[in-house]
Amino acid sequence: MFSHEEDDLESFRFITSQLVVGGNVKQQQIVKAFGVSAISVKRSVKRLREHGPKGFFRQSARTRSAHVLTPEVKAKVQKCLERGQSVSETGKKFNIKSSTIHKAIQSGQLEKKKRQKALRSKETKVSVP
């Protein structure tokens, strides 16, 4: 008997693939019983055969970490953003990828000045008889 958390998709794929590879069920039975696509079952079975359990549970080789912005650089970047300079221009100025600045904005480390839209006055046409 197998069990896994409801939202643990990788465990589900691993367990169902084990059942297929072990000859206990057919792929089509998994498709019908759980309402998943046939191609997803085939891919999972292939992954199990080629990579074993590690194919489902290994840590990602690429770990994401934010570029460390020193307080000094953050202050300079923040001043540029407050003056209305774009993220792209600011990044080029300090040789920092714009994605790094965007991540800092999203995490609350920096604040981007919201651009004000130019007010357009509505012109009214008056016809003179």
What mean pLDDT is predicted for residues 91-105?
90
Is pTM beyond 0.75? Reply is no
5-22 in b/e form (b: 16+ CB < 10 A) is: eeeeeeebbbbbbbbbee
The tokens of 102 are what?
Answer: 């965007």
> What's the pLDDT tens digit per position in 53-77?
888 886 655 555 555 788 899 999 9
Chain-centre distance for alpha carbon 45: 26
Alpha-carbon span 109 to 60, nearest angstrom: 26
Taking Cα atoms as reference points, which of 16, 18, 65, 6 lies closest to residue 37? 16
* CB 77 within 8 Å of CB 110: yes
pLDDT higher than threshold 60 for residue 118: no
pLDDT range class, residue 49, cuts 50, 70, 90: very high
Domain locations in the chain?
9-57, 71-106
Q: What pLDDT is recorded for position 65? A: 56
pLDDT higher than threshold 60 for residue 13: yes
Q: What pLDDT is recorded for position 37? A: 96
Contacts of residue 110, defined as CB under 8 A and 6 or more positions apart, other chains included, come to 74, 77, 78, 81, 101, 104
Alpha-carbon span 70 to 72, nearest angstrom: 5
Alpha-carbon span 113 to 86, nearest angstrom: 9
What mean pLDDT is predicted for residues 37-44?
96
For the chain, what is the mean pLDDT?
83
Alpha-carbon span 69 to 67, nearest angstrom: 6
